A and B are shown apart, each in its own frame.
Chain A
Amino acid sequence: MENDLSVSRLVKRFGEFTAVDDVSFDVPAGSFFSILGPSGCGKTTMLRMVAGFEEPTSGTIAIRGRDMARVAPNRRPVNLVFQHLALFPMMNVARNIAFGLERRGTPRAEIARRVERTLERVGLPGFGSKEIAQLSGGQKQRVAIARCLVLEPSVLLLDEPLGALDLKLREQMKVELKKLQAKVGTTFIYITHDQSEALVMSDAVAVMNKGRFEQVGSPQELYGDPATPFVAGFVGDSNIWEGTVRECSGQRAVIGTDEGFAFEARRRGACAPGSAVRLFLRPEAMRIEPADASGLNTFRATVKALLFDGANSRLLTVTPAEHELLVTLPQNRRFDHIRPGQEITLGWHPDSGVCFRREGGDA
């Protein structure tokens, strides 16, 4: 498949600080690609380089096969939706959306037609004559996206555009953005520190940390098969045990945790008995009071608190060594009898836990 964006060996340094450190990736045409990372990981710098606001220290950026070196932002076939949207308050909605077309010298009648069509696309028909200050947060969002989409860019860049919205609206806009992208078919590159935004909307997600890509993959891959401890810890919730490898077998290893459990789990990377590892386990991987415990890792824990949150309810449990663990509590009424203070058996399948070698003791 043709790639809309190809980034290769991209480096950006600010003095001594390396913001983007040798990053390469390709984004296929028409896909929704997210870059997920904590603040300060270099994702915004990366986006600004693609948009043309920052000059890379080295490496190349190509859009639809065309090298973008020394191409000014106003000459690139990409458009950026800014974090705080940056709508022009001195113009009404229609003038905002027409801005880019006017710069290209599109005939007036054509501009009016395309502005109206784009407004319909983003679900705001007839909003052209409104002033920016009259719009709600979600409407501003859509105008900002419409302002870019009307130019039919090869790639649309979005810099945490949902960050300023309240929670409820953010959930709604997530779904809408995904639908909009599917409808218009433009390649979206979306930057966020919110893993749920990235997982819900994207075809592919790159997890970025300290200027590097830790892993690029589908949301399912990142969640189910994290390649590095950072990805395992950053994407979704995890329970963590520290331990040492006792023996290796195929793709699995037997780990003795520091508090004295012996667990079998999947392993990533080379396996050496005696090496320090960190074991990651999702809260939903643990089964409460399993009927058939054969082949499972089982242990006893005490319920400390019930964290009820509808479908997202959890148990806060502690092992005898006071190690806190989160366990998903399915809302099928089977576990209604569980009360704080009770001791329960927990079991999990060796394939759902993954361990990584600890580097220098921290990692």
Chain B
Amino acid sequence: MRRARLGFWLFLAPVLAWLVLLIVLPHLDLLVMSLRSGSGSRASWTLQNYANFFGEPIYWLTFVRTAMYSVITTAITFLLAMPVAFYIAKVARVRLQGFLLTLLLLPFWVSELVRIYGWMILLRESGVVNFALLKLGLADAPVEMLYNDATMIMGLVYTSMLFMVVPLVSAVESLDDSLIEAAHDLGAGRAAIWWRIILPHCKPGITSGAIVVFMLCLGNYLTPNLMGGKNSLWFTEQIYNQFIASFNWNQGAAFGFLLLALSSAIIWIGLKITGQKLGEVAS
């Protein structure tokens, strides 16, 4: 009995060490930092850093924008991923399934930075797409396709796709085909089968995919920075600016915590609206 206990703690130790040293301690330090102003001996406790977020429209507007676009990205990703997942799980033959999943996985063997530069090569003014458009006579002058919100969202969807498809595939796979047939037999058409049978069954998969994609988008720095224009400010860029450009670590730390708190709040509201519990989704 005591030996088993010892084993348990031995195995848990690395995980605990990792969590405490690399996640909990730095966050505690950041939390303290976000509640202080100044540095060194002149530092004092204050809530001013948090007040700045709500007082300065540029800050909270950036956050609202970031959250809105993340929600939109999540929705678009879901709309694209659902048919893909259904095809992979139910329509494709078994041998094709593995191949299709590998195809989805393949882009992730290359770093995000390289993939985004790949998109830039395609879309920039002197890029592949513009070259083709000009040659085919579909455009008279090169079209600027980079540095706008639509392109940025496309980049985010592209980056998030896999994280939505994988939970959806396993959710759809666990659906018994005879449920679909039974619904069809009882008079349901295509729309009713999707709406009443497939989507309710996949709800936990949809939710976990949506949470992952939403959090990834919200915390993404690279894609909005490279593909978004000067006006497409992302909240992570605000944090970066505080830390690196303004060298105001206290303000940056406060923004970091606000991002954490607000995104958690949005997910909590989302779960409440759809009547789910985090435990059910995670299991």
- Which A residues are closer than 8 A to B by beta carbons? 51-53, 72-75, 79-80, 82-84, 86-90, 99-100, 103-104, 147-148, 151
Contacts and interface: CB of A to CB of B under 8 A. Distances in A.
A151 B187 contact: yes
A104 B186 CA distance: 9
A88 B197 contact: yes
Given A82-B178, A84-B176, A84-B178, A90 B200 contact: yes
A74 B179 contact: no
Given A90-B200, A90-B201, A99-B196, A80 B182 contact: yes
Contact of A86 (B178, B188, B192, B201): B178
A147 B178 contact: no
A74 B181 contact: no
Interface in B51-108: none
B140 interface: no
A73 B184 CA distance: 6
Interface of B: 176, 178-179, 181-189, 192, 196-197, 200-201
Contact residues of A: prevailing secondary structure = mixed
Contacts of B186: 74, 79, 99-100, 103, 147-148, 151
B179 A88 contact: yes
A69 B200 CA distance: 32
A79 B186 CA distance: 7
A74 B188 contact: yes
A103 B176 contact: no
B260 to A, nearest CB: 33
B96 to A, nearest CB: 19
Contacts of A73: 181, 184-185
Contacts of B200: 90
Given A74-B189, A80-B181, A99-B186, 8 more contacts: A73-B184, A73-B185, A74-B184, A74-B185, A88-B182, A90-B197, A90-B201, A103-B189
A203 to B, nearest CB: 24
B187 A103 contact: yes
A100 B187 contact: yes
A74 B201 CA distance: 21
Contacts of B179: 86, 88
B197 A53 contact: no
A52 B186 CA distance: 12
A51 B185 contact: yes
A86 B178 CA distance: 6
Nearest to B186: A100
A87 B185 CA distance: 12
Given A90-B200, A90-B201, A82 B181 contact: yes
Contacts of B187: 74-75, 100, 103-104, 151
A147 B188 CA distance: 13
